[in-house]
Structure 1
C-alpha cells in the first residue's frame, strides 16, 4: 500500500505553493486530503486553487498557530497530508453558523455520515478500521458542545482533532472546506482504512497541591474575574509562585491550571490576562470549578514511551496526524527544548498543526498532544 503523502511548502507566494503541490501530487490517486497553513496567506483564492488540485475528492483544513512538518515545529508554511485511495476512504460533514448549532440536528447528520461510511467502506470494501478527525474555528467558543454531540453520534468510533489558530493574534481563525475558508464553522472527517488506526491524547503535567476555586466568572465568554474571592490574575500568580514579571503566554504555559474530571486531571489553559485583572481561558470555565497549578514532567521521556506503546499496538507507524497545543510549543521554547521536541516529532512522523485547543472523545481540552497514529 502507498504511504501517506506528506508535502510541506515554505513558498511565501500562495500561487507558488499551489504549483508546488500540483507538481508533487500529479498522478496520485487520493481518497482525500488535509491542509494546515499559516494564517498569513490570502485565504479564499488559496482555498479555491487548492481544491482545484485534488478535484472532487474531499479536502479540508484550517489556519494554524504554527505547523508540524517533517522537520518538527514549523512556521509560515503549508502542510498537506494526502490519503492514498488504495488504503483509505474519507467522507466529511461541515457545520457552519455555529452560534445556531442544534445538537439534535447535528447529531443526526453525523449518525447518517457514520452509517454511510460503515455500509460502503466496511461492509462492501472491507475497510475495517475507522476514526473521526475534527477541525473547528478556534474562536467559536463552541468546541465543548460540538465534541460532545459528535462523539455521542459516532458511538465507538473515536473523535480527535483541534481548534484552528492564527499565530497568537486571536483575531481571525478559519476552517477550510470545499474550496472555501469559513469562520464560525467546524468539519468532521470520517476515515476508514485497512490499516491500524489509533487515536490518543496526552499532556505533560501533574497536578500541584494548592487549590484555586473560581468564585466569579462569565462562562459564555470564558472569563474568570475572581479566584478564591480575589482578583483572578493576582491570585493565580500568587498560587503559581510567580514573581513580578509579566503574566504572558510563556507564564501560562509553564504554570497551567488543571481540573479534575472523571478521575483524571486536565489542563484548563489561560489565553490572556485582561486590563481589569480577569483571565480569559481557552476552555469552558465556571463558578465553583476547583483548579490546581500543573507541574511539568519529563516531556521527552513521556512522549517516547507513549509512541513506543502505540507502536506495540499498530505496528510500524506510517505517520501521526498531530494536534499539538500552541502552549506546548511556547513552553518548549521557554525551556529551550523545542529543538529536541522537533527532532522527536520528526523521527516519529508527527505532522499537523499547533492548536488553540484539542478535542479527544467527547472533551475539549488544552495543552495536550492529541492525534491519530496510522500504521503501515
Structure 2
C-alpha cells in the first residue's frame, strides 16, 4: 500500500503524483509540493469520496492557478507505486507536447443527445484551431461520468458519434461501493449528474486498449421483468432474479456480495463479442441492480473468469511491444476486478504489473471504450516511449 506522498516524472513530460493524506486540503498541498507546477497545463485528478469536494476544488484553485482541471471521486486510486484505497492521485499534463480542451455535460439523466453532440463538436473545433492538418491518430478522448445518474450508455453513444473517429476511453466515478454519492470536478466547479469530456492531442505515440478476463459458459438467463430506468432486474427466467442467479452459481441467495458478483459475472453478446453486464448489488426485495443498462428480453450469459493476472500481463506486454516501450498508462479499472483479485489473493500481483508498466488511474463503477459502456474491464490510453511526432 502507498504511504505518504510520492511523484514520478515521465519522459513525455507528464508528472504523476499521489498521496494517502486523509484531508482534502492537506492532500492538494502535499501533491503541489512534489510537482513542478510551472510546466503544468492541465490536471486530471482522482480522489477519495471521503474528501470534501468543495474543499478539494478550492485548494486546487489556490495551489494551481490558471491550470485546467478535471477529475472525479473513485472506489480506489491507482498510482505507479501501487493501489490507494483512500487518497488522491494527480496526472499533470505539461504544456509542451499535449494540447487539451475539456467541457462538462450536465443533467445527463435527461440528456438531449443532439445538444450533447453539438457541444462535443464545438470542443473538437476548439482543438482544431490552427492545426487543420494534424494527424487524427494523435488524438484521444477521456470521459468521466457520474455512475449514479444511470446514463452512461446515452452519454457514450452521443459523445462517440460526435467525436467522429477520435477514440474514447474512460471511467464512471465511484464512491467505495457505497452507491450514495459520487462527484466530478471541472474547472474549479463540482458536479453531480454530469459527465466531463477531455480531448487530448499529443506529439507522442498512443494506443487505446481494453482487457477483460472472462469467457462465456452455456448457462443463459432471460430478463423477464426489469425496471429499466434504474437498471434493476426483478426476474430472470421468470423466477426471482437473485434466487435464479444464486442457484445457477451455487450460492445462498441471501448471502450474495460484491465478491459473488465479481467471481460470477454476467455478459451480453453484441456483434459476436461478449461484454460484461455486472451486478452492483442485491436489493432487499430479491432483485438485482446492475452497473449497466438492462432491458426486458435481454439474454444474459453466465461467464467464468480466466486468470486475471495473466490476462492483464498479456495486454500490457502487447502495448509495451507495440509502442516501443510504455512511458505511462492512464487506466480505468473496474472495482469488481479489484474485488475478484482480492478474493483470489492476487491483488499484489496486479499492483506489481501496474508499477512495472507505469499505470495510473482509478477503480471505476463502469468503463467506456469507443462507443461502449462496459463492466469488469480494464480500459485506458497507453503513451509510448517512441519518438515524438
- TM-score (normalizing by structure 1): 0.96
Please point out which of 276, 287, 297 is paired with 1:278.
Answer: 287
Partner residue in 2 for 1:167: 176
Paired with 1:129 and 1:234, the residues of 2 have a C-alpha distance of 49
DSSP 3-state at the match of 2:67: coil
| Range that drifts further, 108-117 or 279-288 | 108-117
Conservation of the 8 A alpha-carbon contact between 1:4 and 1:318: no
Conservation of the 8 A alpha-carbon contact between 1:204 and 1:296: yes
Partner residue in 2 for 1:141: 150
Give 1:76-91 correspondences, 5 Å limit: 76-91=86-101
Does residue 259 of the first structure (1) align with residue 268 of the second (2)? yes
Deviations 1:265-323 (A, max 9, x none): 01100011111111111100011111111111122222122112212322221111110
Give 1:1-376 correspondences, 5 Å limit: 2-121=12-131, 123=133, 129-243=138-252, 246-376=255-385
**Alignment size in residue pairs:** 375
Q: 1:338 to 1:213 in 2, by over 3 A?
A: same
DSSP 3-state at the match of 1:115: helix
Cα drift, residue 239 of structure 1: 1.6
Deviations 1:111-165 (A, max 9, x none): 12112213345648x8960000000111011100000000010011101000001
DSSP 3-state at the match of 1:19: helix
Paired with 1:244 and 1:110, the residues of 2 have a C-alpha distance of 44
Paired with 1:67 and 1:77, the residues of 2 have a C-alpha distance of 7
Cα drift, residue 72 of structure 1: 2.5
Paired with 1:54 and 1:127, the residues of 2 have a C-alpha distance of 30
DSSP 3-state at the match of 2:315: helix
Paired with 2:182 and 2:252, the residues of 1 have a C-alpha distance of 33
Paired with 2:352 and 2:327, the residues of 1 have a C-alpha distance of 17
Conservation of the 8 A alpha-carbon contact between 2:29 and 2:59: no
DSSP 3-state at the match of 2:230: coil
Deviations 1:311-356 (A, max 9, x none): 2322221111110010000110011111111111111111110000
RMSD value, Cα: 1.6
Deviations 1:74-116 (A, max 9, x none): 2111000011111101100111122332110110111121122
Paired with 2:131 and 2:43, the residues of 1 have a C-alpha distance of 17
4+ long deviations beyond 6 Å: none
Deviations 1:13-67 (A, max 9, x none): 2222222222223443122110001111111021121133222231100000111
Cα drift, residue 2 of structure 1: 4.3
- TM-score (normalizing by structure 2): 0.93
Cα drift, residue 245 of structure 1: 6.9
DSSP 3-state at the match of 2:141: strand
DSSP 3-state at the match of 1:171: coil
| Range that drifts further, 220-229 or 307-316 | 307-316
Paired with 1:357 and 1:374, the residues of 2 have a C-alpha distance of 22
DSSP 3-state at the match of 1:293: strand
Q: 1:337 to 1:245 in 2, by over 3 A?
A: farther
Conservation of the 8 A alpha-carbon contact between 1:282 and 1:366: yes
Conservation of the 8 A alpha-carbon contact between 2:218 and 2:301: yes
Q: 1:269 to 1:244 in 2, by over 3 A?
A: closer
Paired with 2:207 and 2:276, the residues of 1 have a C-alpha distance of 22
**Unpaired segments ≥5 residues, structure 2:** 1-10
